[in-house]
Amino acid sequence: MAEPFLKNRKRFTSSLDNKLVPLFDELSRTTRIPKSRLLDEAIEDLLKKHGVTPSVGERS
């Protein structure tokens, strides 16, 4: 099967603490927010915490 084209996203691989996986799954299920969107929000919050801001023209 062909890899789907991702116009505004980039695929990457990572891992999570085993204890976080079921909590993350449940959050996505109960909020009906896709995991990719939850990860976007979490990473944006982490970048803000560390004072990293996007360049002009990049997604905020």
pLDDT > 60? residue 57: no
Maximum distance among all Cα pairs of the chain, rounded to whole angstroms: 40
pLDDT > 60? residue 4: yes
- Which tens digits make up the pLDDT trace of 34-53? 999 999 999 999 999 999 98
Cβ atoms of residues 55 and 44 within 8 Å: no
- Whole-prediction pTM: 0.79
The rounded distance, in Å, linking the Cα atoms of 54 and 48 is: 10
Cβ atoms of residues 24 and 38 within 8 Å: yes
